[in-house]
Amino acid sequence: MKKNPANNIESHLHESRVFKPHAAFSKTSLIRDMATYRRLHRESIERPQVFWKRASGELRWLKKWTKLLEWKPPFAKWFLGGKINVSDNCLDRHIEGPRRNKAAIIWEGEPGEKRTITYQQLHRDVCRFANVLLRNKIKKGDRVIIYMPMIPEAAVAMLACARIGAVHSVVFGGFSADSIRDRIADSGATAVITADGGYRRGTIVPLKHNVDAALKGSKAIKRVIVFRRAHNDIHIEEGRDVWWHRELEYVDANCPAAALDSEDPLFILYTSGSTGKPKGILHTTAGYLLGVALTTKYVFDLKEADVFWCTADVGWVTGHSYTVYGALANGATSLMYEGAPNWPDPDRFWRIIADYGVTVFYTAPTAIRAFIKWGDTWVNKHDLSSLRLLGSVGEPINPEAWMWYHRVVGASRCPIVDTWWQTETGSIMISPMPGATPCKPGTATLPFFGVDAAVVDDNGREVPADVGGKLVIRKPWPSMLRTIYGDKPRYRKQYWGDFKGWYTTGDGARRDKDGYFWIVGRIDDVLNVAGHRLGTSEVESALVSHESVAEAAVVGRPDELKGQAVVAFVTLKTGAKPSGELREKIRSHVAHSIGAIAKPDDIRFSEALPKTRSGKIMRRLLKDIASGNSITGDTTTLEDFSVLTRLRDDEA
Ligand code: PRX
C-alpha cells in the first residue's frame, strides 16, 4: 500500500493484464504507434497554434478564423473571427462528393421497422425542416426544446436548429412533464419539437401528453411541432400545436446554412450528474464541432465503410456528440435504435449488430453489466464477426466487465476504447488510441490531443504514481462548456473554484507508473474508513469480480469507531441466490482482492440499484438508506422509484 501523507485517496487495485493492439489492427489505423500518439499529444500541448490550425482544417469554414483562443479564466472563446455551420459540416459538404448516396443514418424502430437515410436525403429533410422552423418564427438564438423518441427526426430536428442558429435543448424522452417544465423555464425556450409517442419495451411513451402536462398554465411556449410516430391519440391545441408532416407541405428544400460565429451557442444540455439541481451546460459551435469530429475520427479509428453504433439516446451528451454530430461530421454511417436492449429478448443488440454488420459498437458499463447478468448465450447466438472495435463510456468499467466485453462480445479480437469524458467536456478527453495504446482493463489510459489532464492533491500538486487525488484539466480545450446557462457564478464555483485556471472534473483518479489514468469514483462519494480514503470504483470492481455478483455499489455509513463503515449494495447474477454464506464469501473475496481495509462491513442484496436514467448509480440515495436516514434531495432523475421502496422494504 502507498503511504498517504497528504490525505490522498488510496489505491488498492492492481491490474496486471495488458492487451496490446493486434498488429493487423494497428497496420491500418490512423495512429499506429505510441511514438506518433506522443508526438501529436506533445505538439497539441506545447504548440497549440500549430496543432489546432492543422486540425481545424478538418472542418469547412464559411470564413476562416483569425485568433485561436481568448482565455479569460474561466471564460474561453475559440477560433475567433471564424464563421461556420454545424449542419453544413455534417451534411452539405458530404453531398458534394461520393458520399452523396451513402447511408447517413440506419434506423430500427423497437417494433422492427427499418429505415436507411442517405446523406442526400438527410440533407433534404433537414433543409425542409429548417424551413418549417423559420416558417414558425423560430429564429437564430431562440431556444427550442426537443423531446423525441430515438428516431431519425430527432437528429433532423437538432440539425435543423443548428442550420438556422436556433439553440436546441434535448430532453431525454424518458423524463417526465416536471423535467420538461423546469428546462423550459430555465432555458427560456419558446418552442417544443416532439412526437405523439415513442416505443419502449413494447409500450407507447406518451410524449405529446407529457408536453401538454408540462405546458399547462404557461404561455412561454408559442409553438409545438409534433411528429407522428406512434399514432396514439393526442390533443392538438389550436394556435399552438402543429403537425410536422403538415408543415412540410408549405416548404421547399432550399435553406442555405446560416454563417454562424464560432462562439454562437449550439445547444444547452441539462445534466444533474448524480446530485443537485440540473445545470444547463452550454456548448458553442466551432470548438464543440471540432472536438467531436476529431475524437470520433481518432478514437473510433473511423473507416469509410464503418457502421458506427453508439447506443446512447440523443437525450444524453453521448448521443449528441457521437450518434449525431461526431459521426455525421465525419461522413460516417450512424446506426440508431429506438428501444430497449432486452426487447423482445435480451439479444436485441446482438441481433442488430449481426443484421446490419455493425463494425464499431459504443455502449455503457451499466449495459455491459446487464448483458453479463442476462448470460452469454444471448450473445453467442449471433454472428458478431463484423465488429472491429468496442467502446465504453459513462462510468468506470470494472476490469471483470472489461474482460467479458473483450472476450464474449469482441471475441478477443477487438480493441476496447474506454473513453472518459463528461457532458461538460463535450467530447472524449481520456481514451486509448485503438491502434497504438496498450490497454489494461479498467483504465481510460491517456489524454486525447489538446487535453492537459493531471491528478493533484488539495494544494494542486501532482501526486506520485498510484496515489489518488483530484482529476483536473489544466488548459482550456475547444469543446469545453462555455458556462452554465444563466448562472455564471455557479459555473465559476463548480468547475473553476478549486484551482485558479484549472478545470475541476469532480472525479477522483490516480495515474499508474505508465501514466495511465484510473478513475476511482466521484470525489463526493469517496469513503473514509479509519483514516483511509477509498474511491468507490475499486471496491465495486472487487465485488464485481466475484463470480456471483452482477453489479455493486458501495457507500459509507457513519461509524463511531472507523469514521465510516463500508456498505455494499449487491445484485446477483441470474441463478445466484442470496444467503448468509454467500455474503461472507463475498466479503472475504473483497478482503482477498484488495485488502482488509476495503472489506465491506455490511452487504445488502438487492434486485436492482437506484440509477439515473442514463444508468449511473445514485450513491447519494444509497448513502441515505445505508445510514437509515430518510431520502433527501432530488430524486427526479431516478430511473425507477420502486427500486428505492424495495431497498427500504428489504431493510424492514
Ligand atoms: O464520473 C465520470 C463518469 O461519468 C461522469 C460524466 O457523466 P456525464 O456528464 O453524464 O457524461 C457521461 C458521458 C460522457 C464523469 O465525471 N465517467 C464517464 N466516462 C467514464 C467515467 N468514469 C470512468 N470511466 C469512464 N470511461
What pLDDT, in 10s, does the model give residues 129-141? 999 999 999 999 9
Q: Is the CB of 44 under 6 A from ligand 1?
A: no
Helix (H) or strand (E) holding 541: helix 536-544
C-beta 420 within 6 A of ligand 1: yes
| SS3 sequence of 350-376 | HHHHHHHCCCEEEECHHHHHHHHHHCH
| Amino acid residing at 412 | S
Q: What whole-number percentage of the chain has pLDDT above 70? A: 96
Residue having the nearest C-alpha atom to atom 13 of ligand 1: 394
Phi then psi for residue 227, to 5 deg, are -90, 135
Mean pLDDT of 57-65: 98
639 has pLDDT over 90 = no
Percent of the chain with pLDDT over 90: 84
Q: Kindly report, residue by residue over 432-465, the tens digit of the pLDDT.
A: 999 999 999 999 999 999 999 999 999 999 999 9
Ligand 1 pocket, 625 CB below 6 A? no
Question: To test the ligand 1 pocket, which listed residue (314, 422, 445, 510) has its Cβ within 8 A of the most ligand atoms?
Answer: 422
Residue 44 above 70 pLDDT? yes
Tell which atom from ligand 1 comes closest to the C-alpha of 428: 14
pLDDT in tens, 481-527: 999 999 999 999 999 999 999 999 999 999 999 999 999 999 999 99
- Name the nearest CA neighbour of 398 among 533, 608, 538, 515: 538
Say what the pTM is.
0.94
Q: What is the mean pLDDT of the segment spanning 387-391? A: 98
Determine the Cα–Cα distance for residues 227 and 506; give it in Å rounded to an integer. 39
Q: Region 402-408: what's the mean pLDDT? A: 97
Nearest CA owner, ligand 1 atom 6: 422
Pocket of ligand 1 contains residue 425 by CB under 6 Å: no
Whole-number pLDDT of residue 2: 47
Residue with the smallest CA separation from ligand 1 atom 3 is 395
pLDDT in the model for residue 648: 63
Q: How many Å apart are CA 348 and CA 355, to the nearest integer?
A: 10
Q: How far apart are the first and last CA of the chain?
A: 38
- What pLDDT, on a 0 to 100 scale, did the predictor assign at position 637? 66
- Is the CB of residue 483 less than 8 Å from the CB of residue 412? no
Give nearest CA residue, ligand 1 atom 25: 420
Among 105-109, 144-148, 368-372, the range scoring the smallest mean pLDDT is: 368-372
> Among 3.40.50.12780, 3.90.1150.10, 3.30.365.10, 2.40.128.20, what is the CATH number of 92-255?
3.40.50.12780
The model's confidence at residue 16, banded by pLDDT at 50, 70 and 90, is confident
CATH number of the domain located at residue range(s) 534-651 in this protein: 3.30.300.30
Give the DSSP H/E element, type plus range, for residue 9: strand 9-10
Q: How confident is the model at residue 276 (pLDDT cuts 50, 70, 90)?
A: low
Q: Which atom of ligand 1 is nearest to the CA of 421?
A: 14
DSSP letter string over 305-358?
T-EEEE-S-TTSHHIIIIIIIIHHHTT-EEEEE-S-TTSSSTTHHHHHHHHHT-
**Per-residue pLDDT tens digits for 301-333:** 999 999 999 999 999 999 999 999 999 999 999
Please tell me which residue, 634 or 100, carries the higher pLDDT value: 100
Q: Break the chain into its structural domains and give their ranges.
A: 92-255, 534-651
- C-alpha distances out from residue 623 to 369, 480, 497, Å: 22, 31, 26
**pLDDT tier, 273 (very low <50, low <70, confident <90, very high otherwise):** low
Q: Output the residue whose Cα is nearest ligand 1's atom 14.
A: 422
- Mean pLDDT rounded to a whole number for the chain: 94
**pLDDT of residue 274 exceeding 60:** no
For the ranges 66-75, 338-347, 436-445, 597-606, the lowest mean pLDDT is seen at 597-606
The one-letter amino acid at 552: A
Rounded to the nearest 5°, which phi and psi values hold at 464?
Answer: -65, 170
